């Protein structure tokens, strides 16, 4: 299974990238780092610069065709940048249009709001996104992990890095289904 991990060139929360990546590898899948720019993405540990990771695939009008599922790591700056990029928003929307599973953690649901795929869905996120999710027609819940099977496709969401173990277990289970 080929899994897209979509990040902006800077601002992804490192642990929200590396732990789900490790879970995908342990499941025997092929994770691919997708970004809006070539080269490397700069990860952060909260506000401090952390590791750099090499981009495998640069968005250029892509759809979900080359991938089986999508993971959206958080960090505040990462989804804020992605939601302002038409290619990234279109890429995210294409997974929902195709009914493919998506997982998003922390602030990543901002991109789901921008992609207009939240209406009628129940999800969790970093608490400060609750109003944005409700205003976009979604139902926000304060849960460690939430799996929404509203058609089309499955959406797995979590609140924060402390929820990573549950998040990884849930998206691996759902993506494998």
| CA atoms within 13 Å, Cβ hemisphere of 52 | 5
Catalytic residue, chosen from 46, 107, 146, 149, is: 107
Angle (deg, nearest 10), helices 14-26 and 164-176: 40
- For residue 140, the cross-strand partners are 123
Which residues 6+ apart lie within 8 Å of 50 measured at CB? 14, 43, 44
- Phi first, then psi: give them for residue 111, nearest 5 degrees: -70, -30
Residue 106 falls in the annotated catalytic set: yes
Of 46, 106, 149, 168, which residue is the catalytic one?
106
At residue 57, φ and ψ (nearest 5 deg) are: -145, 130
Query: Which helix (H) or strand (E) element contains residue 172?
Result: helix 164-176
Among 57, 51, 114, smallest CA distance to 80 is for 114
Are the beta carbons of 153 and 94 closer than 8 angstroms? no
**Catalytic residue IDs:** 106-107
């Amino acid at each position: 299974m080929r899994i897209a991990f979509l990040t902006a060139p800077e601002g992804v929360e490192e642990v929200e990238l590396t732990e789900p990546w490790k879970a995908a590898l342990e499941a025997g899948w092929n994770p691919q780092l997708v970004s809006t720019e070539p080269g490397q993405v700069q990860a952060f540990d909260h506000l401090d610069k952390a590791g750099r990771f090499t981009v495998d695939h640069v968005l250029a009008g892509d759809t979900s065709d080359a991938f089986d599922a999508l993971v959206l790591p958080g960090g505040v700056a990462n989804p804020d940048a992605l939601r302002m990029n038409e290619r990234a928003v279109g890429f995210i929307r294409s997974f929902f249009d195709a009914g493919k599973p998506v997982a998003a953690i922390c602030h990543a649901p901002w991109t789901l709001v921008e992609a207009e795929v939240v209406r009628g869905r129940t999800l969790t996120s970093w608490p400060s996104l609750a109003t944005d999710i409700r205003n976009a027609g979604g139902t926000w819940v304060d849960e460690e992990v939430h799996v929404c099977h509203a058609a089309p496709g499955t959406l797995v969401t979590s609140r924060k890095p402390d929820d990573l173990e549950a998040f990884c277990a849930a998206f691996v289970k759902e993506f494998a289904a």
